[in-house]
Chains A and B, each alone.
Chain A
Amino acid sequence: MATLDSKVPKGELKDKWTTYKDKINLVNPANKRNIDIIVIGTGLAGGSAAATLAGLGYNVKAFAYQDSPRRAHSIAAQGGINASKNYPNDGDSDYRLFYDTIKGGDYRSREANVYRLAEVSGNIIDQCVSQGVPFARDYGGTLDNRSFGGVLVSRTFYAKGQTGQQLLLGAYSAMNRQIARGKITMHNRHEMLDVVVVDGKARGIIARNLVTGEIERHSAHAVVVASGGYGNVYYLSTNAMGSNATAAWKIHKKGAYFANPCFTQIHPTCIPRSGDYQSKLTLMSESLRNDGRIWVPKKLEDVHAIREGKLKPTQIPEEDRDYYLERRYPAFGNLVPRDVASRAAKERCDAGYGVNKTGEAVYLDFKTAIERYGKEQALLHGETNASKERIIELGEKVIEEKYGNLFQMYEKIVAENPYKTPMMIYPATHYTMGGVWVDYNLMTTVPGLYCIGEANFSDHGANRLGASALMQGLADGYFVLPYTIGDYLANEIRTGEIPTNTKEFDEAEKAVKERLDFFINNNGTHSVDYFHKKLGKVMWDKVGLARNAKNLKEAIQEIREIREDFWKNVKVTGTLNEFNQELEKAGRVADFLELAELFAKDALERNESCGGHFREEYQTPEGEALRDDEHYAYVAAWEYTGEPSKAVLHKEPLKFEFVELKTRSYK
């Protein structure tokens, strides 16, 4: 089995990537034409990688389960993308972006990877602008910035509340250019169901054509998995309905180690659940915390009156409101990192201050910002005697310009006007920092098998900062993988085309077909969703915002029981050789049911609190996360040995040579 070598180059932090790039192997242009690369997923990471690899001259075969690469869930990212451009001249630098990311991740990420991310971040903005991404601009024509959680500078570039959409459409357009040139063969509505390993190297995949049901073999000299995170293990999350862990989990079962599965991000500002029929949760961008203030009533009687509909939030006077983030964290206020904000919301709601019927909601209020902007606009318009109504009118216009689509989205879902009454929000699963273990080259423990974007574990430690997911996806795809993959492929120039009529492909295809046959023929009693919902409840209740050993042990047991029940009693309607959405879901949920157990096992193993992983046994008297650097400053990389309970732990020690390990403080 593979050993855990992170392959971080030696030298000064600032020189590592530059020096490394100068020395790695290259593939000459004529040889690139003879090399095939498979890319699974076409979001920001996969889309940018596919376009760039094709642009370099490789033959790319790209796969997406949707009907177009443009529909990958990166499209839903709202707020922005970080880059250390320092355009506002507010003291930003590569080092600060690096430092904020390491600190925000609670010192559980790899220094060299994070520094490289900061180093290429500026390039991403240049690249996207030349692609025609319409970022927000100031009146002078230069790019505008805003601020996100966990930082003290404005380094976030944005395109209204649709930054992910615009960046993804940029990558999509770059893909289209390569599809037109024949350098990318695009397989829409295809799902990868296994990776094929030949002589220890990744050599291809088995995929299902989701329209015809046909099982297909595809070969390549390298396979890149960019299939996103596993947040849907909670059933309810801000992920798309189809977002799944199947590609990542399948490669794990074929030898790729899975790292830090318990590091999951619960985002503080999502629209609360309204009932049991709920199919997904909707995020309200973190950018709203630039202008929105989070609060709950100070008095329990006000809370009860609100729940009974006898009192409106706008009727509660200032002195009776508890702006609890500003109270607890005066330095960062409403812009503390996501894990801190989520836990603080849970703390207030657990104490009985939740403001909706379920008791699971807090207010996000824009009144102060509307008044502030309104006054500023009135002055700019020369209206020195503007009435209160006029000021609010002007202020609302500014808010609309900044967040209009988010406010509209909220109003459509909740049927309340957030300009007039505060939004209600509550934490929800959003992002997974954990994922497939990769070395500095973004290669997994299987040679020739790469993993990029949210699907890998590398850059965000135990908590991701806002606007950093887009940055990482594009950094991996545009600027990192295209270099590092060449180092591996330089040894493949004599290999020639990989045949698909070999026993390895036969075996992989047989296993895939057997599993699909099982689902269709099982004729069980319960739908796939029934099991997925049960799993989600266990995960949220016992492996969610706050965890403890007792609950985790119970969760492991319950997950096993659900999994056994699933394999006995799952019912999948329809047939194999047709468009069959129930069959698609069955495979995904089967994989979640295994991943969930490893997730809980990892959470149980990590006897400390850090970032999004909060163990109730390990906290300070003030209720803050208590890290244990002496025993847990490592990446937990799990090796699959037959079933999740038997996974073997490999530790990659995290060495901090360039930053000092500190207790994270946002006070």
Chain B
Amino acid sequence: MDLTLKIWRQKSPDSKGKMVDYKVTDISEHMSFLEMMDVLNEQLVAKNEEPVAFDHDCREGICGMCSMYINGEAHGPDRGITTCQLHMRMFNDGDTITIEPFRANAFPVVKDLVVDRTSFEKIQQAGGFISVNTMGRTTDANNILISKHDADEAMDAATCIGCGACVATCKNSSAMLFVSAKVSQFALLPQGRVEAADRVLNMIKQMDEEGFGNCTNTGACEVECPKGISLTNIARLNREYLKASL
């Protein structure tokens, strides 16, 4: 298929960006979206133009590196996937596709479609851990019994890949779904209960300092989350926060 691409080009963090049009031809429906971007970049290099910078690494939907806003949706039109898992069979010959970076004040653009997600790192460093040393001498794993239900629910929350689609999608640029995934994982497990209050207070404080917006229960984050992290986690986060604040 032949396509027109409208892509955000921005040379550096402080330079002004703009949308630029490109054409690609003979795109196979079996290609992944990023392979289509590879084709474009090969074309640009051949013409001595600078290729489009975009983040990507594992190309199998787990590292959380890729981060495009395609036709107005984080990770594009398909559900339950990251951009690298999006395939060209979702598009039609002659389509015009708009490609932008994830936009949020807390995610400044580094170049073209690459954004800086250091703010997520800071939130995790504020409390996204259990304070155990890592030299062994802990208790035998089976001494901590965890009901299958709780373990499964903790696992569902823990599958967050930290891509930032929730923030990019949210009209408030809120990071509540991201924060709630980590808080929930540990809130559901006995190992994490001991420091639960400090964790939630510190992570929320950091989230606010990084400039993320508030949650107004729109639920767009859940829809666009490639890993299907549930809004229930935000409810649990609120409950944990309330308990810790009282």
Contacts and interface: CB of A to CB of B under 8 A. Distances in A.
Interface in A243-287: 274-275, 277-280, 282-283
Nearest to A414: B30
A275 B31 contact: yes
Interface stretch (B59-67, B165-173, B217-225, B231-239): B59-67
B35 A176 contact: no
Interface string A48-73: 10011001100000000011101111
B110 A579 contact: yes
B96 interface: no
Interface residues of A, number: 80
Contacts of A482: 135
B62 A162 contact: yes
A55 B147 CA distance: 31
B174 interface: no
Given A125-B141, A138-B148, A140-B145, A173 B129 contact: yes
Scoring B51, B129, B158, B161 by chain A CB atoms within 10 A of each residue's CB, the highest score goes to B129
Contact of A241 (B53, B59, B125, B146): B59
B63 A162 contact: no
Interface stretch (B1-9, B97-105, B185-193, B207-215): B185-193
A305 interface: no
B57 A571 contact: no
Nearest to A162: B159
Contacts of B133: 55
Interface string A312-328: 00000000000000000
Contacts of B61: 409, 412
B130 interface: yes
A526 B56 CA distance: 22
A382 interface: no
Contacts of B148: 137-139, 141
A177 interface: yes
A179 B46 contact: no
Contacts of B59: 240-241, 279-280, 282
Interface string A574-607: 1000110110000000000000000000000000
B131 interface: yes
B68 interface: no
Contact of A274 (B30, B56, B146): B30
A579 B53 contact: yes
A25 interface: no
A277 B31 CA distance: 7
A87 B140 CA distance: 11
A488 to B, nearest CB: 18
A123 interface: yes
B162 interface: yes
A413 B85 contact: yes
B151 A75 contact: no
Given A129-B141, A408-B80, A188 B62 contact: no
A299 B146 CA distance: 51
Interface size range of chain B in the complex: 35 or more
B151 A165 contact: no
Nearest to A131: B130
Contacts of A409: 60-61, 85
Interface string B57-101: 111111111000000000000101100010101000000000000
A527 B55 CA distance: 19
A415 B85 CA distance: 12
Contacts of B38: 277, 279, 529
B21 interface: no
Contacts of B20: none
Given A142-B142, A176-B129, A179-B125, A73 B58 contact: yes
Contacts of B44: 573
B141 A165 contact: no
Interface string B115-137: 01110110011101111111110
B37 to A, nearest CB: 10
A211 interface: yes
A52 B132 CA distance: 10
B49 interface: yes
B120 A68 contact: yes
A143 interface: yes
B73 to A, nearest CB: 16
Interface of B: 11-12, 28, 30-32, 34-35, 38-39, 42, 44-46, 48-51, 53, 55-65, 78, 80-81, 85, 87, 89, 110-111, 114, 116-118, 120-121, 124-126, 128-136, 138-142, 144-148, 151-152, 154-155, 158-159, 161-162, 185-186, 189, 191-192
Given A188-B118, A241-B58, 20 more contacts: A66-B57, A66-B65, A67-B116, A125-B141, A127-B134, A129-B191, A132-B186, A132-B189, A137-B147, A174-B132, A180-B125, A186-B121, A211-B110, A211-B116, A275-B28, A280-B59, A478-B134, A527-B42, A578-B12, A578-B111
